[in-house]
Amino acid sequence: MTHTYTLTEQDYLAFELYTISKTPRFQPRQRNGRFFVAFCSAITMIYFFYSHNYWNATYFGIMTLALFLCYPRYFKWRQKVHYLKHIRRNYKNKFGLQETLVIDNKLITLTNHTGTGTLKASNFDKICETSTHYFMVLEGGAALILPKKDLNDQAFKSDLKTLKLPHQSDLTWRW
């Protein structure tokens, strides 16, 4: 069956954020950054406390607590801004262009503004489903991004079943 869709900046961003959130390094980086910032602020607080400058010690004590509590939100915001700049710089010519995906037996044919390509289903590693997208991940880590808003969900799911690929469902995933 033929499926037609258009990719936007937000579709690329969703893929990048989903991918980074599933890497094993993401949580430790966030945790280490959180503790490092809070530790530096706490050291400054202790310095002012022993210097009998209680006003600055109180200020840095409050800042330590605020930084510790707000750092995860800041970290995610910073990652989102970073990937948005990356997408705007590298994929700006691909936004708003119509693409066609045809799933026929064990072959997947993709047609876009650059041409037509055919992939075997065996080249794909898995299919990841979020509440807004399907990501058909190739063995090398690249993926086909398929926004659900442009697809007939039932017809597309039946086509995916014919491919017999591992299906990972993350319907509750949010950045």
Integer-rounded Cα radius of gyration of the chain: 22
Strands 98-104 and 2-6, bridge-based pairing: antiparallel
Spatial separation of the C-alpha atoms in residues 138 and 145, rounded to whole Å: 11
Spatial separation of the C-alpha atoms in residues 150 and 139, rounded to whole Å: 25
Predicted model pTM: 0.85
pLDDT at 118: 92
Spatial separation of the C-alpha atoms in residues 173 and 30, rounded to whole Å: 18
List pLDDT tens digits, range 117-143: 999 988 999 999 999 999 999 988 889
Q: How confident is the model at residue 175 (pLDDT cuts 50, 70, 90)?
A: confident
Beta bridge partners of 107: 104, 120
Domains of the chain: 2-9+96-170 (2.30.29.30), 14-92 (no CATH)
Beta bridge partners of 126: 137
The torsion angles phi and psi of 111, rounded to 5 degrees, stand at -125, 125
Beta bridge partners of 5: 99
List pLDDT tens digits, range 62-109: 999 999 999 999 999 999 999 999 999 999 888 989 999 998 888 899
Residue closest to 103 by CA, chosen among 149, 155, 138, 143: 155
